[in-house]
A and B are shown apart, each in its own frame.
Chain A
Amino acid sequence: MSDSNSPMRRMPLLFCLASAALLVVYAVAPMRDYFREWRRFQKDYNRLADEKLRQNMPVRPGPIGIRQIWIRELDVVDRCVTCHLGVENRFLRGAPQPFGFHPVTPHNTRDIGCTICHRGQGAATTVHGAHGRLKWWEDPMLPGRYLQASCGQCHKGSEVPEAWLLNDGRTLIQAAGCIGCHKIPGYERRDPIGPVLDGIGSKVRGLWLFRWLKDPKSYLERTFMPNFQLSDEQARLLTAFLLAQKFAAVEVSETTDHSLADQGQIRYREARCISCHAQGGRGGTFGPDLGKVGGKVRFGWLESWLRNPKALFPRTRMPQFSFPDKDIRAVVAYMASEFADPSIDGREDEQLVRSLPPATRENLAAGRKLYQRLGCGGCHRLKGVEEPVELGPDLAGIGNKDVDRLDFGNLPVDRNLWSWLFTKIQTPRAFGKTLKMPDFHFSEEQGREIVVALLSLTDKRFPARYLASEQQAGPFRPQGEFGRLMAKYECLSCHRIQREGGKIAPDLSIIGSQAKPQWIASYFRLPYSLRPILTERMPLLGMSGQEIQTAVGYFQTVLLDDSIPQQLFPRDRPEAQEIARGKELYFNRYGCQACHQVNVAGGYVGPALDGVGSRLFSGYIFAYLKNPQRFKPAVPEPNYNLNDSDAAALAAYLVSLPPAKGTEGR
């Protein structure tokens, strides 16, 4: 037995070592548990809370333990609050992370948790794991600059006032015509966004078209027409194909009578074309910049266009001005001389047109094929080439697409979804030479907005009661005489009525309760700006007296808010003592003169108030003073929570103000 080779001899040593090893292994597990990150954070928080308590702030230390928000319906288990302990305590605003107060949002973490908006891994209790920065976790936390995307998951169709990037991104997606090539949930393919190309050969000059196809931004900075990076040969082929598309009705003329230019200038000014069309960057941004339009269009076409825009392009937002023919010729003459493009001269134009491939049947077929291959039909309509276009991938679920399914090529781009999307939008062919998407030259800001809108297109499903309900009311489509009038003058290009229409001019939904009919009628006859600093002004449409009557009548009977009385005072004449009290309130109590002018004295932030009583109903002034944001949600005018008698006194003073000198005649 004492044989030194006996296995029994080594037993005590083996036993001792094995037991010690077991002890070590057993010690590791509880130690790891004890030294978890979140415990340290909670201890730090309790120290912070003690300190705040000493400063008499209600921040209470809590027991050490994992905290979670559990919402069964949404399948949310978010343990973010294990470390982010101060999210609900506004006394911790600005406290060091992870203890800071969550900015106030329309939704509460208790109701929807954290990861619905921020993404990441809610179940995790480590910093790395919870923020989702793990190799195979498919849903990493969204960076703050893209966070607004999350609103769009439930607010699918409706606008979210708090998420301006999302709204702008969605508008951009619509405006830039992304749905021309991509199927995008929530976007219906309506009419194409670009102009109809029927008769384009009668409209534009060859050289302009060639240059335009090569680089649209060089002519018009703000255009949504993308750059397809065409070769000269391709551009020539396409130019030849498009120039062959002619209008029979339009006279192909490139001459004009320059002697009429002075008269045309007067008409051009009177019509306030500059409200919508800028000239070399100055002026309105609603229509295209006309700075170099003289080099673009053929004048024969321009005449037909001014006579009746809708005849050439039925969906244009340009109103039809009621000019006599003589004036139209004069305006064209003015535009030809004023907006000439020195870079396009006739000889060069001729040269180019000669260099184009001849309009043989083969060449036209090749041009047509190129037109289809590029997907021009996504944005433009052209007779004879009307097959639907769907070149790009369906974008449903792009908002949480697995990053491993994206092709990054070998670009030095961060391997995450938003960086990929941003790069794709900024430089669409960066990930591969053979990609088809053209370059829209979006600014970085626009790129970010589009990424936000795209990131909202997740395939997550939420119970119906969490989804923002769509607006049920149908679109505003007036019938009859007023409907025809609105179509002719394209009121909704700028104005908004019942959530329909543009946003650059005031909302007219309750105009009948706001403005007096006499004033509206005089305004139609000669519009002027209430705020002189604005560039977009109401154009002089040249409406007939009959038309003005129709519009005003419609306002006074339909576009009303029944909660607003028209007249606040008997016979609309307030008593002198009421006026005096209002004046006192105006100048001394509320200091309205800081922003508004009366008789050339006061601030410039708000409009001048001279003669406001002849413009607005006293009832509306009263209601507006009580709560300005009710009528104009973004107006800077403060809500003073006026009581009825103060508001009435102020209204009395305001309606008593005489019109400013020199405007009497209007």
Chain B
Amino acid sequence: MSVAELKERLVGTQVWKSVFRHRYIDSNRNRALTVFSNVFLHIHPVKIPEKNLRFWHTMCLGGLSFGLFLVLLVTGVLLMFYYRPAVPQAYRDMKELEFVISSGAFLRNLHRWAAHAMVVAVFLHMARVFYSGAYRPPREFNWVVGVVLLVLTLLLSYTGYLLPWDQLAYWAITVGTNMAEAAPLIGPKFKFLLLGGNIIGENALVRFYVLHCVVLPLAAAALLAVHFWRVRKDGGVRPL
């Protein structure tokens, strides 16, 4: 049986047809249907004018940010297999990742560098949008969503800082939460709630962990969906 026959048989199966509901016969209708009927593809436009793909229009910064987000998601989930957010264990688990677990140091470094890179990429993305005037109507709402995403990125980065539970973590969070405390009226209460107490201890570690691994990523994922969707609705990336 030749490869072509094998492929033909595979494509003919019920399972294949259930997943890929349209054959890739290159007609406009088919293309549109292929995209519409697939949850992963439907966020993309059916058609993009070729000149919109020019590198210097976007410098791929939004895509890069999202790619880094995915990298962080995967590596973060893997790190959660070995990390325990508790005072006696947290630092020791870092050492386990470094010294014992296969590729542990690799994944942790990947997570860290990707986090730094994402902050940079999101910031540059914002700058690009600003300088190319892409915040103007009808994209003003998406600009706001984007700004919230930038803040979420920074918060993700910041909450992740405490988790290694080393000196750098401890003092970075000391400084950071004292900055939050300086906010008028709600500052002291906010710091108290953020740390779950007056000192950086067990409560603070668990709170930062939950924020870092659950709350903020979910919020970011939801806003990312809105962000992408609005890009489509606002007419995609268009040169000025």
Nearest A residue to B54, CB-CB = A7
Task: Return chain B residues, CB-CB under 8 Å to A562.
Answer: none
A129 touches which one: B92, B99, B103, B106 (CB < 8 A)? B99
Among the listed A7, A28, A32, A77, which residue makes an inter-chain contact with B92, where contact means beta carbons less than 8 Å apart? A77
User: A79: CB under 8 A from chain B?
Assistant: yes
- B24 at interface by CB-CB < 8 Å: no
CA–CA, A136 and B166, complex, Å: 11
Q: Which of A8, A28, A136 contacts B50 (CB 8 A)?
A: A8
- Contact A66 B100, CB 8 Å, known A77-B92, A123-B92, A124-B95: yes
Q: Cβ of A29 and Cβ of B95 under 8 Å apart?
A: no
A46, CB-defined interface residue at 8 Å = no
Give a binary string over A28-53; 1 marks a CB under 8 Å from any B CB, 0 the rest.
11101100000000000000000000
Q: Given the complex, which residues of B lie within 8 Å of A79, measured CB to CB?
A: 99-100
Quick check: is B186 within 8 A (CB to CB) of the other chain? no
Given contact pairs A32-B106, A33-B102, A33-B103, A123 touches B96 in the complex (Cβ within 8 A): yes
**In contact, A29 and B53 (Cβ under 8 angstroms):** no
Taking a contact as CB atoms closer than 8 A, the residue among A1, A8, A29 that contacts B106 in the complex is A29
Q: How far is the CB of B25 from chain A (nearest CB, A)?
A: 19
Interface residues of B (CB under 8 A from A): 50, 53-55, 88, 92, 95-96, 98-100, 102-103, 105-107, 167
The 7 lowest CB-CB distance pairs between A and B, nearest first, are: A29-B106, A125-B99, A123-B95, A7-B53, A29-B103, A33-B102, A124-B99
User: Is A410 part of the contact surface with B, judged by Cβ < 8 Å?
Assistant: no
Q: Would you give the shortest CB distance from A21 to chain B, in whole angstroms?
A: 13
- Cα–Cα distance between A7 and B51 once the two chains are bound (Å): 8
The residue among B50, B55, B105, B167 with the most chain A CB atoms within 10 A of its own CB is: B50
Chain B CB within 8 A of A256 CB? no
Q: How far is the CA of A1 from the CA of B98 in the complex (A)?
A: 50
A488 to B32, CA, bound (A): 114
Residues of A within 8 A of B (CB): 1, 6-8, 28-30, 32-33, 66, 75, 77, 79, 121, 123-126, 129, 136
A-B pairs with beta carbons under 8 A, tally: 37
Tell me which residues across on chain A come within 8 A of B105, comparing CB atoms: 32
**Complex Cα gap A32–B109 (Å):** 13
Give 17 A-B pairs besides A29-B106, A66-B100, A77-B92 with Cβ atoms closer than 8 angstroms: A7-B50, A8-B53, A29-B103, A29-B107, A32-B105, A32-B106, A75-B88, A79-B100, A121-B95, A123-B92, A123-B95, A123-B99, A124-B99, A125-B100, A126-B99, A129-B99, A136-B167
A66's closest neighbor in chain B, by CB? B100
**Cα–Cα, bound, A373→B14 (Å):** 97
Chain B residue numbers with a CB within 8 Å of A75 are 88
Bound state CA distance, A33 and B96, in angstroms?
13
Chain A residue with the shortest CB-CB distance to B55: A7
Closest to A136 in B: B167
Contacts of A121 in B (CB 8 A): 95
Task: Establish whether residues B106 and A28, one from each chain, have CB atoms under 8 Å apart when the complex forms.
Answer: yes
B106 in contact with A6 (CB, 8 Å): no
Quote the shortest CB–CB distance from B54 to chain A (angstroms): 6
Considering only CB atoms, which chain A residue lies closest to B52 in the complex? Answer: A7
Q: Is the CB of A30 within 8 A of B102?
A: yes
A-B contact pairs, 24 of them (CB 8 A): A1-B50, A6-B50, A7-B50, A7-B55, A8-B50, A8-B53, A28-B106, A29-B103, A29-B106, A29-B107, A30-B102, A30-B103, A32-B105, A33-B103, A66-B100, A77-B92, A79-B99, A79-B100, A123-B95, A124-B95, A124-B98, A126-B99, A129-B99, A136-B167
- Among residues of A, the one whose C-beta sits closest to the C-beta of B106 is A29
- Which A residue's beta carbon lies closest to that of B101? A33
Q: Write the nearest CB–CB distance from B172 to chain A, whole angstroms.
A: 15
Chain A proximity of B56: nearest CB distance (Å): 10
Q: Which residue of A lies closest to B95 (CB)?
A: A123
Contact partners of B100 in chain A: CB under 8 A: 66, 79, 123, 125
CA A121 to CA B95, docked complex, whole Å: 10
Complex Cα gap A6–B53 (Å) = 8
B106 to chain A, nearest CB (A): 4
CB distance from B197 to the nearest CB of A (A): 24
Closest to A30 in B: B103
Distance in Å: Cβ of A530 to nearest Cβ of chain B = 60
Residues of B within 8 Å of A33, CB to CB, are: 102-103
Residues of A within 8 A of B88 (CB): 75
What is the CB-to-nearest-CB distance from B51 to chain A, in angstroms, rounded to a whole number?
A: 9
A residues in contact with B102, CB < 8 Å? 30, 33
| Residues of chain A lying within 8 A (CB to CB) of residue B99 | 79, 123-126, 129
With the chains together, A75 CA to B107 CA distance in Å?
27
A29 to B103, CA, bound (A): 6
Give A129 to B107 CA distance when docked, in angstroms.
20
Smallest Cβ-Cβ distance to A129: which chain B residue: B99
Interface centre among B96, B99, B106 (most CB of A within 10 A): B99
Q: A1–B106 Cα gap in the complex (Å)?
A: 42
- Minimal Cβ-Cβ distance residue in A for B92: A123
Tell me the smallest distance from the CB of A1 to a CB of chain B, in Å: 8
Residues of B within 8 A of A6 (CB): 50
Distance in Å from the Cβ of A404 to the closest Cβ of chain B?
A: 11
Q: Give CA–CA (A418, B90) in the complex, Å.
A: 30
Closest residue on chain A to residue B57 by CB atoms:
A7
A19 shortest CB reach to chain B, Å: 14
Closest to A3 in B: B50
Q: Which residue of A lies closest to B100 (CB)?
A: A66
Return chain B residues, CB-CB under 8 Å to A28. 106
Least CB distance, B66 to chain A, in whole angstroms: 16
Q: How far is the CB of A463 from chain B (nearest CB, A)?
A: 15
Q: A129 — which chain B residues lie within 8 A by C-beta?
A: 99
- A66–B96 alpha-carbon span in the complex (Å): 12
CB distance from B95 to the nearest CB of A (A): 4
Question: B231 CB to closest chain A CB, in angstroms?
Answer: 18
A136–B102 alpha-carbon span in the complex (Å): 24
Q: How far is the CB of A22 from chain B (nearest CB, A)?
A: 11
Residues of A within 8 A of B55 (CB): 7
Q: How far is the CA of A8 from the CA of B55 in the complex (A)?
A: 11
Contact residues in B for A32 (Cβ distance below 8 Å): 105-106
Task: Name the residue in A29, A66, A75 with the highest tally of chain B Cβ atoms < 10 Å from its Cβ.
Answer: A29
In the bound complex, residues from chain A placing their C-beta under 8 Å from that of B106 are 28-29, 32
Most B-side CB within 10 Å, residue of A28, A30, A33: A33
User: In the complex, what residue of chain B is closest to A29 when comparing beta carbons?
Assistant: B106
Give chain B residues whose Cβ lies under 8 Å from the Cβ of A30.
102-103
Cα–Cα, bound, A396→B233 (Å): 69
Shortest CB-to-CB span from A82 to chain B, Å, is 10
CA distance A33 to B50 in the complex (A): 45
Chain A nearest CB: distance from B103 CB in Å? 4
When C-beta atoms are compared, the residue in chain B nearest to A1 turns out to be B50
B50 cross-chain contacts in A, Cβ below 8 A: 1, 6-8
Give Cα distance in the complex from A66 to B102, angstroms.
11
Cα(A121)–Cα(B103), bound, Å: 20
In angstroms, Cα B102 to Cα A123, docked, is 15
Within the complex, the shortest CB–CB distance from A479 to chain B, in Å, comes to 53
CA gap between A58 and B133 in the complex, in Å: 79
Kindly list chain A residues whose C-beta atoms are within 8 Å of the C-beta of B95.
Answer: 121, 123-124
A286 to B78, CA, bound (A): 70
Contacts of A7 in B (CB 8 A): 50, 53-55
Complex formed: what's the CA distance from A6 to B54 in Å?
A: 8
